[in-house]
Chain A
Amino acid sequence: MEENKTLLEVKDLKVSFYTPAGEVKAVNGISYSLGYNEVMGIVGESGSGKSVEAYSIIGLLQSPGKVIGGSITFEGENVLEYDAEKMRQFRGNKVSMIFQNPMTCLNPVYTIGNQLIEALMCHDKGYTKEQARARAIEMLELVGINNAEKRIDQYPHEFSGGMRQRAMIAMALICEPKLLIADEPTTALDVTIQAQILELMKDLQKKENTSIIFITHNLGVVAEICDRVSVMYAGHIVEQGPVNDIFYHPQHPYTKGLLASTPRLDEDSKERLVPIEGTPIDLLNPPKGCNFGPRCKDCMKICLREKPPFCEVGEGHISACWLHYKESKGDAAHE
Chain B
Amino acid sequence: MNEQKVLLEIENLRKYFPVKGEKLFQKKYVQAVESVSFSIFRGETLGLVGESGCGKTTLGRTIIRLYEPTSGRIVYDGTPIYDSEQKISVDMLPYRRKMQIIFQDPSASLDPRMTVGEIVGEALDIHKLCTNKTERRERINTLLDEVGLNTEHANRFPHEFSGGQQQRVGIARALAVEPEFIVCDEPISALDVSIQSQVVNMLEDLQVEKHLTYLFIAHDISVVRHISNRIGVMYLGQMVELAESYELCSHPVHPYTQSLLSAVPIPDPDVTRARQRILLEGDIPSPLNPPTGCRFHTRCPYATERCRQEQPKLKEQSPGHFAACHLLDG
Contacts and interface: CB of A to CB of B under 8 A. Distances in A.
Interface of A: 45-46, 160-163, 190-196, 198-199, 217-224, 243-244, 247-248, 257-259, 261-266, 270, 272-277, 279-280
A265 B269 contact: no
Interface residues of B, number: 42
A276 B219 CA distance: 22
Contacts of A275: 194-195, 197-198, 200-201
Interface of B: 51-52, 162, 164-165, 192-198, 200-201, 204, 219, 221-223, 225-226, 249, 259-273, 277, 279-280, 283-284
Contacts, number: 128
The 6 closest A-B pairs by CB, nearest first: A220-B265, A195-B263, A261-B197, A275-B197, A219-B267, A263-B226
Nearest to A242: B269
B267 A191 contact: no
Contacts of B222: 220, 262-265
Given A162-B283, A193-B283, A224-B272, A247 B267 contact: yes
Contacts of A191: 51, 219, 221, 260, 263-264
Contact of A273 (B192, B197, B272): B197
B277 A45 contact: no
Contact of A280 (B192, B201, B266): B192
Contacts of A162: 283
A263 B222 CA distance: 6
A190 B197 contact: no
Given A262-B222, A263-B226, A264-B222, A277 B266 contact: no
Contacts of B249: 265-266
A317 to B, nearest CB: 14
A198 B275 CA distance: 14
B192 A217 contact: yes
Contact of B279 (A196, A248, A273): A196
Nearest to B51: A190
A275 B265 CA distance: 20
B172 to A, nearest CB: 17
A258 B269 contact: no
A194 B279 CA distance: 10
Contacts of B225: 263, 265
Contacts of B259: 192
Nearest to A43: B193
B28 to A, nearest CB: 19
Contact of A279 (B52, B165, B193, B221): B165
Contacts of B264: 191, 220, 265
Given A263-B226, A279-B165, A279-B195, A244 B200 contact: no
A221 B269 CA distance: 9
